[in-house]
Amino acid sequence: MKIKTTFLFVLIIIIVCSFFIFPNSSLPADEMVLKNYYCPKCGLHIEAVNQPSMGSCKEGGGHHWRCLGQVGDKNYQCSKCGLVIKSKDTPYGGVPCKNGGGHNWKRLS
């Protein structure tokens, strides 16, 4: 009985420790992910880890950055404005295209 209790105790410690270690080690990796950002006002696209600063948009005021999702190794092109981005998955919908409406993403081979 005593050996069994000690084993259980060690097991619980291992489980509790892994809960503390893993969420902390995965956090910095999440924050370093490159994302696609697009300004629907001027059509500029950049890759950045964090929301870029507004800067000055050539259409007046600051850029209105919208996130299109994670940067990846697949190429997607918008058939409306011709923009090509490298994306992990289909870029987020609901981001306006500078040529009106939403982007119409097509995967390039």
Interface residues with Zn ion (CB under 5 A)? 39, 41-42, 57, 63, 78, 80-81, 97, 103
Q: What share of the chain is helix, strand, coil (3-state, %, to 5)?
A: 30, 25, 45
What DSSP designation does 9 have?
H
CB-count burial class (<10 Å; 0-12, 13-18, 19+) for 83: buried
Cβ distance to Zn ion smaller for residue 48 or 81 = 81
| Rounded least distance, CB 95 to Zn ion, Å | 9
Cβ distance to Zn ion smaller for residue 25 or 53 = 53
| Rounded least distance, CB 10 to Zn ion, Å | 57
| Rounded least distance, CB 89 to Zn ion, Å | 17
